[in-house]
């Protein structure tokens, strides 16, 4: 029969309170246990002395008999100096799953597409600005050259108007 030092949950809904018990590994979490060796109240502040209460003599006796603490109880025993607690290192646990990797890839593709579209838009804007500048320069050059030609273009229009008036007058008569 293997024995574990573990937490057994008590207390109301949303108000947990745990007993630290020595129990057979085959028994349910909140079920049969051999002995209560301490108490843990997570609702109290972390610096409170009443948050974790251990009967050190009972804990030491069970550890000498071969009982193995669970991860959380090992932390408590480590703080009390009865057990050497080592932080677990599971690099696989922190890695994202398959769907999360797919979502990450989709986000990367969307970001790359957005960056490419922005770059194209900037290039198009630069080209449009250059074309507008060239058109403005061309218009400015035409404006410089056009004033000399415009009066000559207006004079023939003035000559044509009386001819039209004569033509209109001839039709009426």
Average pLDDT over all residues of the chain: 83
Q: Residue 172: which pLDDT band, with cuts at 50, 70 and 90? A: low
| pLDDT given for residue 160 in this prediction | 56
Give the DSSP letter of residue 66. Answer: T
| pLDDT given for residue 90 in this prediction | 77
3-80 maps to CATH 3.40.800.10? no
Mean pLDDT of 134-152: 71
Sign for the CA dihedral angle at 61, 65, 70, 74 comes to positive
Is the pLDDT at 150 greater than 50, yes or no? no
Contact 3, 65 (CB under 8 A): yes
């Amino acid at each position: 029969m293997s024995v574990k030092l573990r937490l057994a949950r008590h207390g109301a809904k949303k108000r947990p309170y745990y007993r630290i018990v020595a129990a057979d590994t085959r028994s349910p979490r909140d079920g049969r246990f051999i002995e209560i060796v301490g108490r843990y109240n997570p609702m109290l502040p972390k610096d409170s002395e009443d948050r974790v209460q251990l009967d050190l003599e009972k804990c030491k006796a069970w550890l000498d008999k071969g009982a193995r603490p669970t991860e959380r109880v090992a932390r408590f025993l480590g703080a009390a100096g009865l057990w050497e607690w080592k932080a677990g290192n599971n690099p696989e646990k922190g890695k994202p799953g398959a769907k999360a990797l797919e979502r990450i890839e989709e986000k990367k593709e969307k970001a790359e597409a957005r960056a490419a579209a922005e770059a194209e838009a900037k290039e198009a804007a630069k080209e449009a600005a250059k074309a507008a500048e060239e058109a403005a320069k061309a218009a400015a050059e035409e404006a410089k050259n056009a004033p000399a030609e415009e009066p000559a273009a207006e004079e023939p229009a003035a000559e044509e108007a009386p001819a039209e008036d004569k033509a209109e007058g001839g039709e009426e008569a």
